[in-house]
């Protein structure tokens, strides 16, 4: 082949490669893709988000404002935000316009635009070996739709970015915001104290307080979900009637109840920390909940699987104590959207609950156990004195115990066939309650969620364990029958440390990674070299054998009779033949040595 033809082929190959690369870039500009190898698929937009952005009623603009010179520790956040917003635009079928605005330190116009879209800079600390400094940086996303602007001014989490984007899109495009009511009037925590975090994070809803004291006011009709958290006094009959009527309307109700409550007795304790004594928490809701299918027991579930918490001991000092009344719950239902992706939850003096036998047999009710203690749990009944420095001993009543239940379907009305009670104070504990008559039932859309713990959704425990917040938010979404984004909320990066049983395992794991991997490559290189040497030797032997066979065939080929007679008659014929064989052997040996040298 001539040099010209070889050069032509090389040019042709180069043109083909360039053409393929151009075509790949054209396709990539129209089709967005990413290889996501994480277990939770945190870098992949989920189907509910895709469905949401593809069904936008009108066009929307989403702008990401990112500083160009981000510090190294937050640079990955900027890249992730840019990729996620770009992918939202690529998957929206033209319904969503995505823009990335990079802001330089001296770009005044870009800063004004960010301010117009409600994006404010945040302070990012940066520390080097020489100095420490604070830098203003932009990491925010703004949404513009129908003349309205919503903003995520600071986005510093990879775990819930998709949920924040999708929930904001859903919130800004809704014509009516749904309303969640938290009951008051019975010693429940308020929005200002105890439920401030719940109100702040339920930003997709209008959160209001619903006063049911004495039942003098009906539950507003625009309430979509009702939540009862930790009542301490008895409900009046009219208040219970309002709860029953709300459920019978096909809506959702959640109860976070304590079967036992801890109280501090009054008196002087000579400078010592006063004890906390447990008593049954009589709310007057027990009979109605049991009629609906759930029984809340007056006990405290304790578990060997618990989480150390700071508790006030003698002298007012705080110590971390692994107390069994603070179980770390890890046994969740994988069928319910509320707990499907939950990993853990921290509960505080929880009580056991159970499904009634009537509810188990009722085919109109579908139930599920949301949370359960471990088999190493037990429950304490009767008088309980809480002392953080004295760990209670296990009882004979061992677990696991149900701690959370969900029910949906056609519940029976607790006030069916009964006269409507009048507003007023609650009945005495020993008062007789009329038996319901008839079979009035709720529609199939009615939903009920009950947890045997009220403390775990209070502000202080939501701060200690963010997974508790997920249970509350998922419960509200489930009761509002808006479950599309529940699975997205639980997305997060998972740390997967290596499990080891002995301390020596760390030593071997460390040096196995430091020396084992390089040594493995060295051994592979030696094996490869030996294989190539052996292959060359075998190739040389095959070549020598082929040559020997060819020469042998030529020696044995027939010649004319005169040559044969001459060869046989000469006195040196045998010597010549021997010399020929000797030369042939020497030639083979030289060829073999050359092959080895190669």
Domain ranges for the chain: 41-161, 178-265+273-300+328-489, 530-540+577-598
C-alpha 194/C-alpha 213 separation (Å) is: 19
CATH number of 178-265+273-300+328-489, picked from 3.40.470, 1.10.150, 1.10.10, 3.40.50: 3.40.50
- Rounded to whole angstroms, what are the CA distances from 187 to 183, 212, 228, 241, 364? 10, 11, 11, 19, 34
3-state secondary structure of 478: helix
Per-residue pLDDT tens listing for the chain (598 residues): 454 565 677 778 788 888 888 877 776 655 556 666 666 667 788 888 999 999 998 999 999 999 988 887 788 888 889 999 999 999 998 899 999 999 987 888 989 999 999 998 888 777 766 667 778 888 999 999 988 999 988 776 667 888 889 999 998 998 888 999 999 999 999 999 999 999 999 988 999 999 999 988 999 999 999 999 999 999 999 999 999 999 999 999 999 999 998 887 766 555 566 677 888 999 999 999 999 999 999 999 999 999 888 776 655 667 778 889 999 999 999 999 999 988 899 999 999 999 999 999 999 999 999 999 999 999 999 888 887 778 888 999 998 999 999 999 999 999 999 999 999 988 888 888 888 888 899 999 999 999 999 999 999 888 888 889 999 999 999 999 988 888 787 666 555 555 555 666 667 777 777 888 888 888 888 998 889 888 888 888 888 888 888 877 666 555 444 444 444 444 444 444 444 444 555 555 555 445 444 4
Tokens of 363: 């085919």
C-alpha 283/C-alpha 236 separation (Å) is: 9
C-alpha 492/C-alpha 503 separation (Å) is: 30
Show Cβ contacts of residue 218 under 8 Å, excluding neighbours closer than 6 positions.
242
Residue 13, number of CB atoms within 10 A of its CB: 10
Look up the pTM and report it: 0.76
C-alpha 431/C-alpha 236 separation (Å) is: 12
C-alpha 168/C-alpha 165 separation (Å) is: 5
pLDDT tens, position by position, 393-421? 899 999 899 999 999 999 999 999 999 99
- Rounded to whole angstroms, what are the CA distances from 334 to 76, 110, 256, 337, 338? 33, 47, 21, 8, 9
Quickly list DSSP for 272-327.
SPPPEEEEE---S-HHHHHHHTEEE-SEEEEESSB--EEEE-GGG-EEEE--TTSB
CATH code, residues 41-161: 3.40.30.10
Strands 345-346 and 377-381, how do they pair?
unpaired
C-alpha 250/C-alpha 440 separation (Å) is: 13
10 Å CB burial of residue 571 (0-12, 13-18, 19+) is exposed
Instruction: Tell me whether the omega of the peptide bond preceding residue 334 falls within 30 degrees of 0, making it cis.
Output: no
- Rounded to whole angstroms, what are the CA distances from 38 to 166, 225, 240, 343? 20, 35, 48, 17
C-alpha 225/C-alpha 83 separation (Å) is: 36
Residue 496, number of CB atoms within 10 A of its CB: 7
Phi-psi sector, 417: left (phi>0), alpha (psi -120 to 50), beta: left
C-alpha 411/C-alpha 447 separation (Å) is: 9
């Amino acid at each position: 082949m001539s040099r010209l033809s070889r050069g032509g082929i090389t040019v042709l190959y180069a043109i083909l490669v360039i053409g393929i690369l151009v075509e790949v870039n054209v396709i990539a500009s129209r089709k967005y893709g990413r290889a996501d190898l994480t277990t939770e698929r945190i870098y992949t937009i989920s189907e509910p988000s895709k469905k949401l952005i593809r069904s936008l009623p009108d066009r929307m603009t989403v702008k990401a404002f990112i500083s160009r010179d981000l510090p190294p520790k937050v640079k990955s956040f900027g890249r992730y935000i840019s990729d996620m917003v770009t992918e939202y635009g690529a998957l929206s079928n033209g319904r969503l316009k995505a823009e990335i605005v990079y802001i330089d330190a001296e770009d005044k116009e870009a800063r004004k635009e960010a301010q117009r879209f409600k994006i404010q800079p945040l302070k990012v600390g940066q520390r080097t070996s020489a100095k420490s400094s604070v830098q203003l940086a932009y990491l925010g996303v703004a949404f513009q739709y129908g003349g309205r602007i919503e903003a995520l001014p600071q986005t510093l989490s990879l775990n819930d970015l998709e949920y924040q984007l999708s929930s904001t899109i859903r919130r800004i495009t809704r014509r009516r915001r749904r309303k969640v009511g938290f009951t008051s009037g019975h010693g429940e925590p308020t929005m200002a104290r105890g439920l401030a975090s719940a109100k702040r994070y339920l930003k997709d809803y209008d959160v209001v307080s619903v006063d049911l004291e004495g039942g003098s006011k009906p539950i507003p009709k625009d309430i979509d979900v009702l939540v009862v958290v930790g009542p301490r006094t008895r409900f009046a009959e009219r208040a219970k009637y309002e709860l029953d009527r709300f459920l019978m309307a096909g809506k959702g109700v959640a109860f976070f109840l304590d079967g036992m409550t801890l109280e501090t007795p009054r008196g002087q304790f000579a400078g010592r920390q006063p004890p906390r004594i447990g008593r049954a928490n009589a709310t007057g809701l027990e009979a109605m909940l049991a009629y609906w299918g759930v029984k809340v027991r007056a006990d405290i579930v304790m578990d060997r699987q618990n989480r150390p918490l700071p508790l006030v001991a003698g002298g007012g000092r705080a110590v971390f104590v692994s107390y069994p009344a603070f179980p770390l719950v890890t046994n969740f239902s994988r069928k319910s959207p509320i707990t499907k992706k939950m990993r853990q939850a921290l509960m505080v003096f929880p009580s056991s609950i159970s499904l009634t036998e009537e509810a188990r047999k009722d085919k109109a009710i579908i139930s599920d156990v949301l949370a359960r203690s471990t088999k190493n749990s037990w429950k304490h009944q009767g008088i309980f004195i809480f002392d953080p420095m004295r760990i209670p001993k296990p009882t004979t009543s061992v677990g696991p115990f149900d701690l959370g239940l969900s029910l949906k379907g056609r519940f029976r009305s607790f006030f069916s066939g009964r006269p409507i009670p009048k507003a007023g104070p609650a009945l005495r504990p020993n008062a007789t309650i009329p038996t319901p008559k008839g079979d009035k039932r709720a529609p199939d859309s009615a939903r009920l969620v009950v947890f045997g713990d009220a403390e775990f959704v209070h502000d202080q425990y939501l701060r200690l364990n963010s997974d508790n917040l997920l249970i509350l938010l998922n419960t509200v979404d489930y009761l509002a029958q808006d479950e599309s984004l529940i699975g997205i909320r639980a997305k997060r990066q998972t740390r997967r440390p290596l499990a080891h049983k002995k301390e020596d395992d760390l030593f071997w794991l460390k040096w196995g990674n430091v020396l084992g991997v390089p040594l493995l490559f060295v051994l592979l290189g030696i094996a490869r070299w030996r294989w190539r040497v052996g292959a060359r030797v075998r190739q040389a032997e095959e070549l020598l054998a082929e040559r020997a066979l060819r020469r042998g065939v030529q020696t044995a080929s027939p010649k004319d009779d005169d040559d044969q007679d001459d060869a046989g008659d000469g006195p040196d014929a045998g010597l010549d033949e021997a010399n020929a064989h000797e030369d042939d052997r020497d030639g083979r040996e030289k060829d073999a040595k050359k092959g080895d040298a190669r």
